[in-house]
Amino acid sequence: MTVVSRQKAASPEAAVPSRRAGLSEGKKQERRLGWLLCAPAALVMVAVTAYPILYSIWLSLQRYDLKFPENREFIGLANYATVLTNNYWWTAFGVTMLITVISVAVELVLGMGLALIMHRTIIGRGLVRTSALIPYGIVTVVAAFSWRYAWTPGTGYLANLFSPEGAPLTERASALAIIIFAEIWKTTPFMALLLMAGLALVPDDLLKAASMDGASWWQRFTKVMLPVMKPAILVALLFRTLDAFRIFDNIYVLSAGANETSSVSMIAYNNLMKGLNLGIGSTMSVLIFLTVAIIAFIFVKLFGTAAPGSDDVDGRR
Amino acid sequence: MAVETTSAKVKWGLLDALVVVFALIPVLWIVSLSFKTAATLTDGNFIPREWTWDNYKLIFQTDQFVRALVNSIGIALISTVIAVVLGTMAAYAISRLDFPGKKALVGVSLLIAMFPQVSLVSPLFNIERNLGIFDTWLGLILPYITFALPLAIYTLSAFFKQIPWDLEKAAKMDGATQGEAFRKVIAPLAAPGVFTTAILVFIFCWNDFLFAISLTSTEQSRTVPVALSFFTGASQFEDPTGAISAAAVVITIPIILFVLFFQRRIVAGLTSGAVKG
Amino acid sequence: MADIVLDKVTKKYPDGTTAVHEIDLEIADGEFIILVGPSGCGKSTTLNMIAGLEDISSGELRIAGERVNDKAPKDRDIAMVFQSYALYPNMTVGENMAFPLKLAKMPKAEIDKKVAEAAKVLELTEYLNRKPANLSGGQRQRVAMGRAIVRSPKAFLMDEPLSNLDAKLRVQMRTQVSRLQKQLNTTTVYVTHDQTEAMTLGDRVVVMRGGYIQQVGDPQTLYDNPHNLFVAGFIGSPSMNFLPATVEESKLRTPLGDLPLGDRVRRALSGADAPRQVILGIRPEHFEDARLIEEHQRAKGFEFTAPVDLVESMGSDKYVYLTVEGEHAVAADLEDLAADAGGADLPPQDNLVTRLSAESRVRDGADARVWMNLDKIHLFDPRDGHNLTLHEGQAAGVNAA
């Protein structure tokens, strides 16, 4: 307290309140406290992401194979040329896109249904919500093993039921279908929870007014609920799209990327761990990062998805 | 909407049942597999014909699983504690204080929440090898904290924003210092939010596979999800299916407990953190 | 107990906006003073500066003669009641009230005694062990009051403490607050946007607008002698009627007809810079049904006939809305008032609101013969809104403000 008052005494009452002098002692203290409290989190986040991503850009410009470390040299964009002219990369890219688009589209529909059920159900609401949280919470690898064994010939109830002769996980189309299915099972509840938060924003009176105006159930849904929920839907779509694009665990366990079922994350990982090629692996890392940035940019620009947490979201409500 | 006719109840009941079955079948299946004897493992029956604890006994006798379990619990707990402490500090500042750079911090956390983790795998692999923290607990804790922080900051800011601002003013008027106002008035109100966030962060760390498989190479720091994938073909298990299933069930237990006891909080945390921000 | 002095107190925000402009105000020891004005007028900012919750950009604030600009709220020894009540949800009623005493490290026995006393005064004794969530709005409000009075602070600050209550409870609590303040005789600064609260509660009322004090005075003075259009329109319900008027020779031309200029008005308009275009203001109760006027009064007033739009019978009197054709009074002050009342969204009113005796027999749709009291009219300068008809002593106050 003495320190504060001495500082105060040293700076006479700001007679000419410039912008700087307009900041009182309390305000400055608030700033300092704010920075102090945020600094550790900011430092960790930046140190563990910004530095490595810059480092990986640096690595991507080099020939750097851990099996032949002596051949390390700066080669400019040659790695990018290698990757971008490579069929494996484009196949993986296509597979990732396919998985992303189908799973997110299906999840949106199922998630909306689940959100409506969780929001409106008149019996067993707690039970439904609890059950729905299990796929969200369960370790992806565990769920993936469950699906894998379910589709393993002989062992699995699903394999025996649907394809007694074949081995669905060893054929490309069926393997991809199973991967997408596993992804949908795991993440629909998350989508549903985000949508449910949007549903909670739809005022009951608005729906009642719409029914009084003669709107059918479907009209109430499309004309009243969807417009109000739009921000929540877009945020959910953005999050899930970027999340689906990173798909790794399910593929690793279900097909190990065999039969051209690798995602971009899978081949980047394989290049690093199996190929020990840091240059190429880093190039892929950078390309994936760029793709994700572009997707996010498109969402924000095209749909005006407000970043969650930004004040705009609060303001709009 | 308030009219609860019998037919409406039946309709909702059927829908509810469908959701419950859809959500639980894969879990029940892996539980069922874990209780099957070696002989009946490949019979394809959904319910075991013979029940046995053998698979569980087996995994708890091996170092590979026990060690991984210890790693998983230790790494997830440490990461959770650190992420929640740092997240609480930052979220308090974001929701309560006015300072330049606040928006930037929110923006950075948002970017990280959307960041493709695989992009970090290559550089982190090399950086951690150079720093000598590859294949250590620390090597996993660092990225876990990083990716858990945005989640923690969002969820906590949402909770903090719900605490009425007037209370802190009232406490100051009642003669409290800033510290007392926080300890006696804000902290008790924030505790449920912090706890919920801790659960979400723990689930995140507990679930991770990509970092765990890329940044570890030995049992010293492998977590259970990774160890599971290494059971395959490992010599001490002739057919790893039963063992994998049992191990999978073991690491699912904490998740089930969280979901059972804290369903309401988890739902509140996820919805507020992700949408209301 | 203490007096509070605001000496050129100013609040300027970092973004350059000024919420409060050099306010001078002396609040006497034990006085109950009301800050009133539309939202954004700076009244809450002023209160928060007195509380220490917001910094004072320039000027000086003295409590009991001591400069407190740099003191933290906890060191100012003043208590505050918030609009949201700000009750600690994790504490019981008793713990809420004991909280400031606990922070002051008072012995337990004494705390219990003080809380019990306060609870008795506010009739909260049976609720002491309840949590705020289990109380009604009125009870919560009383707990908030209780938390303020247990400490016997130098002053009470109240930030719209009644605005979250429903209308009936608000009236009850208003009398209780008033009684409590008289009983404790503690300096109280009370912020409200409700002019009825301002009129009924305070010893003195401070009308604020846009960060400036418009007028300070006891309620009756504000009502009878408003310094400007804004105060005239803000104080009183229903509000004063405003009509455009033109000064001509010895007449005042208005939409109601040509009014004769009395001596009082003539004097007011005698100044060299007196405008020709003025705004005529007259309160609803200064009209009467012409048939009920006694002869000797008739001469003091002016009679006119106008179609009746609507009659609202209150039992004790009748509110009669008369349709008046012609232009509307235009002034910046009036626009502010309309915006505050939400009137900006409404079509312009052609109505003159009058309060007539209950015996009046005017009916909807018919024409009414109405008398107005010329002694009570005010003329305002539309350019700056100031009241031309105040006598010299009062007019001096305008310039000071």
Residue C131 has pLDDT above 80, yes or no: yes
Amino acid at C370: V
Neighbours of chain B (3+ CB pairs under 8 A): A, C
Q: For chain B, which residues make up each domain, given as ranges?
A: 1-52, 63-276
> Which of these ranges, A4-8, B172-176, C134-138, has the smallest mean pLDDT?
A4-8
Average pLDDT of B84-111?
A: 87
Domains of chain A: 78-316 (1.10.3720.10)
At A188-200, the pLDDT tens digits run 998 998 898 888 8
Phi/psi of residue B241, each to 5°? -50, -50
User: Which of A1, A15, A27 has its CB closest to that of C55?
Assistant: A27
Listed by number, the residues of chain B in 219-248 with a beta carbon closer than 8 Å to a beta carbon of chain A are 224-225, 228-229, 241, 244-245, 248
Q: Using CA atoms in the order A219, A221, A225, A231, what is the torsion angle rounded to 10 degrees?
A: -110
Residue of chain A nearest B208, judged by CA positions: A139
Average pLDDT of C381-392?
A: 82
Residue to substitute from B98, B163, B174, interface C, most C β-carbons within 10 A: B174
Q: How does residue B238 score in pLDDT terms, banded at 50, 70 and 90?
A: low
Q: What is the pLDDT of residue A25?
A: 61
> Which of these ranges, A271-280, B146-155, C110-119, C158-167, has the smallest mean pLDDT?
A271-280
Average pLDDT of A268-285?
A: 85
Closest C-alpha among C185, C188, C92, C179 to residue C143: C92
At A210-254, the pLDDT tens digits run 888 888 888 888 888 888 888 888 888 888 898 899 899 999 998
Average pLDDT of C127-148?
A: 92
Would you call B81 an interface residue with chain A, using a CB distance cutoff of 8 Å?
A: no
Would you call C99 an interface residue with chain B, using a CB distance cutoff of 8 Å?
A: yes
- Arithmetic mean of pLDDT over chain C: 88
- The three-point CA angle B194-B199-B201 to 5° equals 90
Q: What is the pLDDT of residue A92?
A: 92
Domains of chain C: 4-224 (3.40.50.300), 229-400 (2.40.50.140)
Task: Determine the Cα–Cα distance for residues C221 and C208; give it in Å rounded to an integer.
Answer: 16
At C165-183, the pLDDT tens digits run 888 889 989 999 999 999 9
Which chain C residues have a beta carbon less than 8 Å from that of B185? 88
Task: Determine the Cα–Cα distance for residues B69 and B223; give it in Å rounded to an integer.
Answer: 6
At B182-191, the pLDDT tens digits run 888 888 888 8
At B26-43, the pLDDT tens digits run 999 999 988 988 778 777
Task: Determine the Cα–Cα distance for residues A192 and A109; give it in Å rounded to an integer.
Answer: 9
Task: Determine the Cα–Cα distance for residues B277 and B159; give it in Å rounded to an integer.
Answer: 9
Q: What is the pLDDT of residue C101?
A: 92
Report helix, strand or coil for B250: helix
Residue C345 has pLDDT above 70, yes or no: no
Residue A20 has pLDDT above 50, yes or no: no
Average pLDDT of A37-53?
A: 89
Report pTM: 0.79
Residue C93 has pLDDT above 90, yes or no: yes
Q: What is the pLDDT of residue A26?
A: 64
Q: For residues B51 and B265, is the Cβ–Cβ distance under 8 A?
A: no
Task: Determine the Cα–Cα distance for residues A42 and A64; give it in Å rounded to an integer.
Answer: 31
Residue B2 has pLDDT above 50, yes or no: no
Residue of chain C nearest A5, judged by CA positions: C70
Amino acid at C218: D
When comparing pLDDT for C160 and A260, which is higher? C160
At B158-212, the pLDDT tens digits run 888 888 878 888 998 898 888 888 888 888 888 888 998 999 999 999 999 999 9
- The three-point CA angle C34-C35-C41 to 5° equals 165
Average pLDDT of A4-18?
A: 37
Closest C-alpha among A160, A248, A144, A145 to residue B243: A145
User: Which of C12, C55, C58 has its CB closest to that of A26?
Assistant: C55
Residue A6 has pLDDT above 50, yes or no: no
Would you call A162 an interface residue with chain B, using a CB distance cutoff of 8 Å?
A: no
Q: What is the pLDDT of residue A160?
A: 76
Shortest Cα distance, chain C CAs vs residue A136, angstroms: 32
Residue A8 has pLDDT above 80, yes or no: no
In sequence order, the 6+-apart residues with CB closer than 8 A to the CB of C358 are: C313, C314, C315, C316, C317, C318
Shortest Cα distance, chain A CAs vs residue B262, angstroms: 9
Q: For residues B201 and B193, is the Cβ–Cβ distance under 8 A?
A: no
User: Which of B169, B176, B188 has its CB closest to that of C103?
Assistant: B176
Neighbours of chain A (3+ CB pairs under 8 A): B, C
Q: What is the pLDDT of residue C397?
A: 42
Provide the total of helices (H) and of strands (E) in chain A, helices listed first: 16, 2
Q: For residues C171 and C178, is the Cβ–Cβ distance under 8 A?
A: no
Shortest Cα distance, chain B CAs vs residue A254, angstroms: 11
Would you call C72 an interface residue with chain B, using a CB distance cutoff of 8 Å?
A: yes
Closest C-alpha among C324, C323, C320, C321 to residue C360: C320
Residue A109 has pLDDT above 50, yes or no: yes
Contact assignment for A22 to C13 by CB distance below 8 Å: yes
Closest C-alpha among C330, C378, C322 to residue C350: C322
Q: What is the pLDDT of residue A11?
A: 38
Shortest Cα distance, chain B CAs vs residue C103, angstroms: 6
Closest C-alpha among C157, C11, C3, C116 to residue C66: C3
Q: How does residue A7 score in pLDDT terms, banded at 50, 70 and 90?
A: very low
- The three-point CA angle C332-C333-C338 to 5° equals 100
**What is the CB-side half-sphere exposure of residue A7 using CA atoms within 13 A?**
10
Fold assignment, B63-276: MetI-like fold (1.10.3720)
**Most confident region among B50-59, C62-71, C348-357 by mean pLDDT:** C62-71
Give the DSSP letter of residue C81: E
Average pLDDT of C155-166?
A: 91
- Arithmetic mean of pLDDT over chain A: 81
- Hey, how many other C-beta atoms are within 10 angstroms of the C-beta on B142? 23
Task: Determine the Cα–Cα distance for residues B164 and B186; give it in Å rounded to an integer.
Answer: 9
Residue B72 has pLDDT above 90, yes or no: yes
Task: Determine the Cα–Cα distance for residues A254 and A99; give it in Å rounded to an integer.
Answer: 14
Give the DSSP letter of residue C143: H
Q: What is the pLDDT of residue C272?
A: 63
Please state at what angle helix B241-271 crosses helix B137-162, rounded to 10 degrees.
Answer: 30
Average pLDDT of C115-121?
A: 92
Task: Determine the Cα–Cα distance for residues B88 and B77; give it in Å rounded to an integer.
Answer: 16
- Cβ-Cβ contacts under 8 Å between B and C: the total is 56
Q: For residues C388 and C268, is the Cβ–Cβ distance under 8 A?
A: yes
Q: What is the pLDDT of residue A305?
A: 53
Residue C98 has pLDDT above 80, yes or no: yes
Contact assignment for A22 to C70 by CB distance below 8 Å: no
Shortest Cα distance, chain A CAs vs residue B183, angstroms: 16
Which chain A residues have a beta carbon less than 8 Å from that of B24? 131, 134
- Spell out which chain A residues touch chain C, with contact meaning CB-CB distance below 8 angstroms: 1, 4-5, 8, 13-15, 17, 19, 22-27
- Hey, how many other C-beta atoms are within 10 angstroms of the C-beta on B58? 16
Would you call C103 an interface residue with chain B, using a CB distance cutoff of 8 Å?
A: yes
When comparing pLDDT for A157 and A18, which is higher? A157
At A118-153, the pLDDT tens digits run 888 777 788 888 888 899 999 999 999 999 888 888
User: Which of C84, C90, C104 has its CB closest to that of B175?
Assistant: C104
Q: What is the pLDDT of residue C146?
A: 92
Would you call A22 an interface residue with chain B, using a CB distance cutoff of 8 Å?
A: no
Question: Which element (helix H / strand E) includes C12?
Answer: strand C4-12
Q: What is the pLDDT of residue A12?
A: 38
Contact assignment for C52 to B174 by CB distance below 8 Å: no
In sequence order, the 6+-apart residues with CB closer than 8 A to the CB of B170 are: B185, C80, C82, C86, C88, C147
Q: For residues C156 and C79, is the Cβ–Cβ distance under 8 A?
A: yes
Burial of C320 (0-12, 13-18, 19+ CB in 10 A): buried
Contact assignment for B166 to C86 by CB distance below 8 Å: yes
Beta bridge partners of C368: C306
For β-strands C277-282 and C241-248, DSSP reports them as: antiparallel
Listed by number, the residues of chain B in 255-274 with a beta carbon closer than 8 Å to a beta carbon of chain A are 255-256, 258-260, 263-264, 266-267, 270-272, 274
Would you call B252 an interface residue with chain A, using a CB distance cutoff of 8 Å?
A: yes
Q: For residues A191 and A238, is the Cβ–Cβ distance under 8 A?
A: no
Tell me what ipTM this predicted complex has: 0.88
Contact assignment for A19 to C14 by CB distance below 8 Å: yes
At C252-284, the pLDDT tens digits run 899 888 888 888 888 888 776 778 889 999 999
Beta bridge partners of C288: C371
Which chain A residues have a beta carbon less than 8 Å from that of B69? none
Residue C9 has pLDDT above 80, yes or no: yes
Task: Determine the Cα–Cα distance for residues C343 and C322; give it in Å rounded to an integer.
Answer: 19
Q: What is the pLDDT of residue C349?
A: 64
Contact assignment for A26 to C13 by CB distance below 8 Å: no
